[in-house]
Amino acid sequence: MFQDITTLLLDPKAFRDTIDLFVERYKDQGITVVAGVEARGFIFGPPIALAIGAKFVPLRKPKKLPGEVISEEYSLEYGTDKIEMHVGAVQANDRALVVDDLIATGGTLCAAVKLIERVGAKVVECACVIELPELKGRDKLGDRPVFVLVEADA
């Protein structure tokens, strides 16, 4: 499911306000890692990480990261895919925020959370700009907290 965020990115004030809403929420939560899901998590994750003093870790599609990686497979409507991160990028004592632009079915976000939890880190919350609630993506995440700014129709 695709939601166009271009209008947000073309409006510097709206984009800054969006980042500021996330920063205000997470600045005092002891987050040490902001993990951004490819590709649009790379737009929102780095400015949040910089503002709260955390490192940014890209979570990428297969074979996009050099060096040693760990991966997590997840189901798509017709098949499977994987998400990867560098070995050692997230440590067992890290407190992570997982960022993406959208939560739809929850498959990618769930794989991202599992990848981070596999190395022993705590996922404090998942943060998305948009949620498509009728697709029930939160259900895949179980009791893990999710924060979204906007709910939209699928």
- Farthest CA pair distance, the chain: 41
- The one catalytic residue in 24, 40, 131, 134 is 40
Q: Among residues 15, 25, 16, which one has the least CA distance to residue 124?
A: 25
77 belongs to the catalytic site? yes
**How far lies 131's CA from each of 38, 136, 149, 152, in Å?**
17, 9, 8, 6
**How far lies 59's CA from each of 24, 65, 98, 109, 122, in Å?**
23, 9, 9, 10, 16
Cβ-Cβ contacts under 8 Å for 73 (sequence gap 6 or more): 80, 81, 82, 111
Q: Can you tell me the distance from the alpha carbon of 58 to that of 68, in angstroms, rounded to the nearest whole number?
A: 14
- The one catalytic residue in 38, 68, 72, 77 is 77
Give the active site residues.
40, 77
